[in-house]
Amino acid sequence: MWKIIDNLTPLWLIGRQGSGKTYTSAAIALVRKHCLGIPIYYLIDRHATGDNSKAWRYLDTQNIAESETEIGTALDSLCEHWLLRIKGKNDLEQPAKITPEQVLIDEYTNLKSLIGEPAEKFYKLHLTDTRKAKVHVTGITHNDTNSSYPEGTQAMREAGTILIQKFSANGKTPLSRVKIVRGLLDDNGEEYLDAERTLPSWFNPESIYNHFNGKPIDFDA
């Protein structure tokens, strides 16, 4: 899990309804925030203050885009934001000190069809610009088929993203089972492919938030 958290490679989660993708994304974001000091710069989710508010409420995100208009504007501005961060870092006369930040985007598959070009541009540029801009992107999409992503990105996403699959047996309750589908490397540089792992029960946003706010996790429970 730490290899995933301390990693600038874009992270994507897939899984059926009720598999806990959003909660896991929020938990990862909170660990990055508290352990690495990386704030959540943008949360992009059509249900940020609705159905998904229980998962996101602990994040203290700096910006939220929820309506389709807000999301389209946010996706465009993020692409420009990354470019400015890269330019500032590479300024030969006075290079800027770039502080890492996080961007979370939920239900990308729907956004691709609803928002269109800004969503496709965001996805294409996140494959190349976010590492240079020191931005941790965590995304959720329905599945890993070509139709879920912009055309012409298959090779880049297979080589440049981490993909994790979450599971549920009944469509309501997440299972502890997870699968590292691709993109994560072991200590020898070999890729984990379809590697099964188990998430501990405490790896959820509420427990992690409480841990850093006076109620430490009992890891032996």
Across the chain, what does the average pLDDT equal?
95
> Over 90: is that where the pLDDT of 142 sits?
no
- Which residue in this structure is represented by tokens 């699959």? 165
Query: Is the entire prediction scored with pTM above 0.75?
Result: yes
Look at the domain 2-204 and name its fold: Rossmann fold (3.40.50)
- Alpha-carbon distance of 18 to 170, in angstroms, equals 8
- Which residue in this structure is represented by tokens 């899990």? 1
Under the banding of pLDDT at 50, 70 and 90, the label for residue 219 is: confident
Phi, psi of 180 (to 5 degrees): -85, 105
Domain ranges of the chain: 2-204
> Over 80: is that where the pLDDT of 91 sits?
yes
Beta 162-168 vs 135-140: how paired, if at all? unpaired
